[in-house]
Amino acid sequence: MSMGAPQPRIDLIVGARPNFVKVAPVYRALRGHRDRLDVHLVHTGQHYDANMSDVFFADLAIPAPDAFLGVGSLSHGAQTGAIMTQYEQLAMQSRPDLTVVFGDVNSTMACTLAASKLGIPVAHVEAGLRSFDRTMPEEINRVVTDHVADLLFTPSADADEHLRREGIPADRIHFVGNVMIDSLVASRAKIEASNILGALALEPKRYAVATLHRPSNVDRDETLAPILSALESIQARVPIVFPAHPRTQRRLAAEGLRALRARLTNVRIIEPLAYCDFVRLVSQATLVLTDSGGIQEETTYLDVPCVTLRKNTERPITISHGTSVLVGNDTATIVREAERILGGGGKRGTVPPLWDGHAGERIAAVIQRRITPGVTQ
């Protein structure tokens, strides 16, 4: 880049809790090129609760966003449209040279569409994941984003294969590894220093952790009740800590679930935790029950048995290589797998390739080559 030329502007888009974990290593790596790149953090406000947003920024050492769109909680269509409108206005004013989106939330697809229609190139971090279940809103977001984006950064080899099968040109695809693991590795000292076990009076490997947030599990009594019934059985063997997503907290208060919830006497339902506290809690659990794709990845890296409360997953590498087992939401199946783990038969796995803490650096290197051609590292 010639002296005096304006630095290329990069917008990093975050909106929901999983994005914050993914953006942190990419932000740090791009800021390492601050003499050549102008990096801006844009928060859509898709998750706006302090426990779902502010504490993660603090824990992951991410600065306050340069722009906050304040969209808030709306229906899928209304939220996607509001994010597109707000980000379009921002992008028309600032004209970024690249918009970087993360994961598969509504903010991901909305900002991709807004940027691409303005002729702004888009990079997608965590591209190529597929559950092949179009009833999942996240699957729609993933597919649309991948087919619009110009740079596709994948976390695993299966993601590359999905993109190739869908006709994505090979020069757009970059296998870089898993940015969520970058955040875990970078935060290891803070995670190990967390006193969450002491605060909750827990002994290592003497408790289980449960999380639930997917609409397919929590939005209807007939899908949530079987999972709660499984927790009712498992609690007889081991106490369960249940950091509850706001969506799940609202559903647990439903009239039809009141009697069942009252029987969860050894299930401790708590507020969502800060990142380091939560990872510490998971790392010392004997068992994790979850419908979160990110937690499937974290338990695989941490070698903690994971019962995945879903019928399919966009992260099959956590099953083929890792510690995850798919069980759906059938009570008997969940209890049977949990009993097997608690009896010492938990699945052990290996860490997938390039889940090494350096994915963010690889992404930054590709972006710098793309956005400042001819400039050496």
The confidence score (pLDDT) of residue 73 equals: 80
Please state, in angstroms and as integers, the Cα–Cα distance from residue 89 to each residue in 39, 65, 86, following that order.
Answer: 18, 17, 5
- Would you name the residues annotated as active-site residues? 213
The 3-state DSSP class for residue 34 equals coil
The confidence score (pLDDT) of residue 6 equals: 80
CATH 3.40.50.2000 fits 189-345, yes or no: yes
The confidence score (pLDDT) of residue 55 equals: 67
**pTM given for the model:** 0.93
Domain pair 9-178+355-371 / 189-345, same fold: yes
The ranges of the chain with pLDDT < 50 are 1-2, 377
How far from chain centre, in Å, is Cα 326? Answer: 18
All structural domains of the chain with their residue ranges: 9-178+355-371, 189-345
To 10 degrees, the CA torsion angle through 65, 107, 124, 372? Answer: -40
State the Cα–Cα distance between residues 39 and 372, nearest whole angstrom. 14
Which residues are 174's β-sheet partners?
A: 153
The confidence score (pLDDT) of residue 2 equals: 46
The confidence score (pLDDT) of residue 4 equals: 56
The confidence score (pLDDT) of residue 294 equals: 94
Q: Which helix (H) or strand (E) holds 160?
A: helix 157-165
Please name which of 49, 56, 64, 108 lies closest in space to residue 83, comparing C-alpha atoms. 108
Q: pLDDT tens for residues 323-359? A: 999 999 999 999 999 999 999 988 889 999 999 999 9
CATH 3.40.50.2000 fits 9-178+355-371, yes or no: yes
The confidence score (pLDDT) of residue 72 equals: 82
